[in-house]
Amino acid sequence: MPKLTINGKAIEVPAGTTVLQACQQAGFEVAHFCFHARLSIAGNCRMCLVEQEKAPKPIASCAMPAADGMVIHTDSEKAKKARHGVMEFLLINHPLDCPICDQGGECDLQDQAMAYGFDRGRYIENKRAVKDKNFGPLVATSMNRCIHCTRCIRFATEIAGVEDLGATGRGEDMEIGTYIERTLSSELSANIVDLCPVGALTAKPYAFVARPWELTKVESVDVLDAVGSNIRVDARGGQVLRVLPRLNEAINEEWISNKTRFALDGLTRRRLDVPYVRKNGKLAEATWHDAFGAIAARLRGVSGPRIAALAGDLADCESMLALKELMAALGSPHLDCRQDGAALDPSCRAGYLFNTTIAGIEEADVCLLIGTHPRWEAPIVNARLRKRWLQGGFKVAGIGAPRDLTYPVEWLGAGPETLADLVAGNHPFAETLKAAKKPMLVLGQGALRRRDGAAVLHLARTLAEGAGMAREDWNGFNVLHTAAARVGGLDLGFVPQASGRDTAGILSACEKGEIEFVYLLGADEIDMKRLGKAFVVYQGHHGDAGAHRADVVLPGAAYTEKDATYVNTEGRVQHGRRAVFPPGEARDDWTILRALSEVLGRKLPYDNLRALRRHLVEVNPVFGRIDETPRSAWGKFGQDGRVEREPFAYPIADFYRTDPISRASPTMAECAAQFGAGARTGTHG
Amino acid sequence: MSAHDNSAPVAQPTSFAFTPENLKKAQAHIAKYPPGRQASAVLPLLDLAQRQHDNWLPRAAMDAVADMLGMPRIRVYEVATFYTMFNLKPVGKHFFQICTTTPCWLRGSDEVVAACKKKLGVGIGETTADGQFTLKEVECLGACVNAPIIQVNDDFYEDLDGVSTEALIDALKRGGKPPVGSVKKRQTSAPAGGPTTLKDLSFAGGKR
């Protein structure tokens, strides 16, 4: 533990701390551009120069390890002069175009030029000009502004694991780019926009949209995958303009996926903003009164067992609970939140959670991926797996079709029979699992949403028990969800009640005419044709598959428009917050159900969000533990049975279009065209 | 600008492979480094590729080296664009690197450059139409004692002036290979008119 003195203040820091971090810990801010705590140290911007006593020159504090007895001055004349000099050099080739730069107002260089800049330039030669690069539909470049901090290169190389970016040329001719023109093929690539300390890399879809000081900022959570990334939603005048990551060390650190960041232009398109009622085969605009009237009229005389409800992937916990209780009041046992038919067992919480937790991945030493393609299903989890791999001593194996996950994976096989071999110990990898101290497995929805899903779940549980994954001190059994609503739905019991049918059962009953009324709470991923002649009510925010099939459409709120509870794949309960109001006549989802219940004469007993949330905690105490991941008791789940030979199929075919919001987003459509399945690559014509 | 410009009229070959003997040399270079550190061999391998490929490095060669060493291609592009001795565009059979740094300039490199331009009819950075000569201005070649100098491919021609430069070009045009070193025929960098010291070698038995 080195002890050093910074500006006369003595401080003791852990070994390995840099001088810059020590200064920060002592409460002295040191200006810097290239240094980033999550990236390797480059030491090339020189902005962090400080004076060290007995050193002949100012030192780059970001690259200097703190040592015992150092005496550092961050604000001495020498240090200040050094930084003024560095700033002058940085500004030699930097265009003074702040008024037309998207970074203006939140630019490190702009801020620090205020502190260390000179009030006029002494450089009278021409500034250099650099050709802009094409980094694809998400990242706009203005390479004249680049100060060569290389943060983007280090991010692409280290965190994203896609070594496409580099610095070519030398000296004044140095350029950041891909050399051979290509777009950045990473699901996390847009994080370089946040990392760029200047305006060289900015968000293309957000170009010239707003200035940071015009935006209202709301802290919320993302629902476009099951990770629950913490985000900040920036809005102006009733419209969400951008989504930025918010620090949460336990989940997303400070990264978010490109979909989380840029699917927001889908929030203003294809929106349901008034209720619709189908008249003469066509959906016609209606009032809430008429829409509720139509539902009440259709439900009159329909017995409970002929009614069913399905919850979709983006549904919040409050509205799912309200719908569940409305169904109970109507006497219907048929409800399911697993619209993809995954064989998740709601009886044991440990059986459907990512028990290791995302941060816990960093403790594991062996990982087995079963029917999951985490790079698409949860890019943030994949980044954490890569981070663990970079630390060394981590072996990853996979069962499924081989994919590039940005770290080496030993692909053991394609389907459940390989899993069965592992359980039986007939596979060499079984030894590796046995020898591991903290082994983990990740079970994807691709392994569960099959006919033999319950048997696969049982196999995975047996493997986990046999390989010491289900111990007192370590739970290595993980289910990776793809839907933000799934864990919440299972936690509050939005599953078939006694003698109720599951998704497959509901659909086949609809085909046979045994169910004549279906309530879809944002459920769009089912085969609408199988709903047969049933009367369908669709409550949701986008005119997607469900709304097209519906007989009555009730316009709800998207995740940026409501205060709502979500549970991520780890079982972490988080609150999303309203950034803007729902458009037009659309309403908060739980209030729609509450209002409908009154029309149906089965009034739900909560009048405000607080009461509903209190009730949520009564239903499952886990909803009272915000942002925690309590350990779940191990139990029996899955069903012993025969598995089929059919290989696992990954649940996501197109990373950029997985839900009604991203399907409505033009930016995501462009990404899908460039990177998604069937994308044209550089070798096409 | 070092960015790769697809519109530039550089015909890039579609593939590159080391010849069997160069492959053997390449493997010898790789074997010098411990396992997992093969990337260290990137400079000798790029040099080998350039020598095999008419003194310039096409993209395919950089890719081949990257794949051979198991490193991302961009890392090889970074190296190849950083070092000025790698030519990323075709160059003439005789690649003239004319030193114009201070010692050569003081000793008359302007005259040498002018003679090259006049004789070949091309400017710095250009190649003659027949593809025989390319001119390039470089920084210090480290032979200041015999300034000014031109490096033609791997050979140094020293003590040049306008006349001797033209004579050098003529000789190369004829297909000859003028003797390497000082065109004033001095021994390495000994004084131009012969030795000025150590003339009496009796202390060493009189032998030189």
Question: For residue range A83-94, what is the model confidence (pLDDT) as tens digits?
Answer: 999 999 999 999
> CB distance B81–A163 less than 8 Å?
no
pLDDT at residue A181 in the model: 80
pLDDT at residue B195 in the model: 81
Which of A80-89, B173-182, B192-201 shows the lowest mean pLDDT across its residues?
Answer: B192-201
Residue B4: list chain A partners with CB under 8 A: 179-181
CA of B49: how far to CAs of B58, B59, B72, B185, in Å? 9, 11, 18, 34
Q: How many residues comprise chain B?
A: 208
Instruction: Kindly list the strands in the beta sheet with A9-12, ordered across the sheet, starting from the edge strand earlier in the chain.
Output: A9-12, A3-6, A71-73, A49-52, A59-60
Question: Measured between CB atoms, which of B6, B59, B81 is closest to A168?
Answer: B81
Taking CA atoms, what residue in B is nearest to A172? B1
Residues in chain A, pLDDT under 50: 678, 680-685
Instruction: Kindly list the strands in the beta sheet with B150-152, ordered across the sheet, starting from the edge strand earlier in the chain.
Output: B133-138, B94-99, B150-152, B155-158, B181-182
A85-118 in b/e form (b: 16+ CB < 10 A) is ebbbebbebbeeebeebbbeeebbbbebbeebbe
> CB distance A164–B74 less than 8 Å?
yes
Taking CA atoms, what residue in A is nearest to B86? A169
Least Cα separation, residue A667 to chain B (angstroms): 27
Q: Residue B186: which pLDDT band, with cuts at 50, 70 and 90?
A: confident
Type of residue at A378? A
pLDDT at residue B4 in the model: 47
pLDDT at residue B205 in the model: 77
pLDDT at residue A121 in the model: 86
Tell which residue, B103, B102, B12, has the closest CA to residue B59. Answer: B12
| Token reading at A180 | 């051979």
> CB distance A166–B1 less than 8 Å?
no
Residue A392: list chain B partners with CB under 8 A: none
Tell which residue, B69, B79, B162, B151, has the closest CA to residue B115. Answer: B162
Q: What is the ipTM of this complex?
A: 0.87
pLDDT at residue A677 in the model: 58
Tell which residue, A148, A172, A5, has the closest CA to residue A74. Answer: A5
E strand segments, A400-516 = 410-413, 439-444, 477-480
Least Cα separation, residue B131 to chain A (angstroms): 26
A392-404 in b/e form (b: 16+ CB < 10 A) is eebbbbbbbeebe
Q: pTM score, two decimals?
A: 0.92
> CB distance A181–B75 less than 8 Å?
no
Taking CA atoms, what residue in A is nearest to B88? A169
Q: Residue B207: which pLDDT band, with cuts at 50, 70 and 90?
A: low
Instruction: Kindly list the strands in the beta sheet with A410-413, ordered across the sheet, starting from the edge strand earlier in the chain.
Output: A410-413, A395-399, A366-370, A439-444, A477-480
Bridge partners of A439?
A366
Across chain B, mean pLDDT equals 91
pLDDT at residue A682 in the model: 45
> CB distance B74–A173 less than 8 Å?
no
Neighbours of A295 (CB within 10 A): 21
Q: Determine the 3-state secondary structure of A50 from DSSP.
A: strand
Residue B57: list chain A partners with CB under 8 A: none
Could you tell me if B82 lies within 8 Å of chain A, comparing CB atoms? Answer: yes
Residue A131: list chain B partners with CB under 8 A: 1, 3
Q: How many helices (H) and strands (E) in chain B?
A: 7, 5
pLDDT at residue B111 in the model: 95
Could you tell me if B74 lies within 8 Å of chain A, comparing CB atoms? Answer: yes
Residue B10: list chain A partners with CB under 8 A: none
The span from the CA of B137 to the CA of B110, in Å, is: 11
Tell which residue, A539, A545, A546, A543, has the closest CA to residue A562. Answer: A539
Contacts of A208 (CB under 8 A, 6+ apart): A102
> CB distance A181–B6 less than 8 Å?
yes
Least Cα separation, residue A155 to chain B (angstroms): 15
Question: Measured between CB atoms, which of B2, B6, B72 is closest to A169?
Answer: B2
Q: Residue B9: which pLDDT band, with cuts at 50, 70 and 90?
A: low
Least Cα separation, residue A139 to chain B (angstroms): 18
Q: What are phi and psi of A676, to 5 degrees?
A: -70, -170
Least Cα separation, residue A164 to chain B (angstroms): 6
Residue A179: list chain B partners with CB under 8 A: 2-4, 74, 77-78, 81
Could you tell me if B125 lies within 8 Å of chain A, comparing CB atoms? Answer: no
Could you tell me if B198 lies within 8 Å of chain A, comparing CB atoms? Answer: no
Tell which residue, A490, A432, A494, A491, has the closest CA to residue A463. Answer: A432
pLDDT at residue B193 in the model: 81
| Token reading at A63 | 């690259």
Question: Measured between CB atoms, which of A166, A175, A180 is closest to B1?
Answer: A175
pLDDT at residue B1 in the model: 41
Whether the predicted pLDDT of B76 surpasses 60: yes
Yes or no: say if A629 and A571 are a contact pair by the CB < 8 Å rule.
Answer: yes
| Token reading at A134 | 């094409």
Bridge partners of A649?
none
Question: Measured between CB atoms, which of A163, A164, A169 is closest to B81?
Answer: A169
pLDDT tens for residues B136-163? 999 999 999 999 999 999 999 999 999 9
Query: Which residue in A180, A183, A186, A683 has the most chain B C-beta atoms within 10 A of its own C-beta, making it the best mutation to test that interface?
Result: A180
> CB distance A169–B6 less than 8 Å?
no
Q: Determine the 3-state secondary structure of A245 from DSSP.
A: strand
Question: Taking phi first (over 0 means left), then psi (-120 to 50 degrees means alpha), and beta for anything else, what does residue A565 get?
Answer: beta
Contacts of A86 (CB under 8 A, 6+ apart): A45, A46, A47, A49, A116
> CB distance B1–A170 less than 8 Å?
no
Residue A641 exposure: Cα atoms within 13 Å on the Cβ side: 15
> CB distance A179–B3 less than 8 Å?
yes
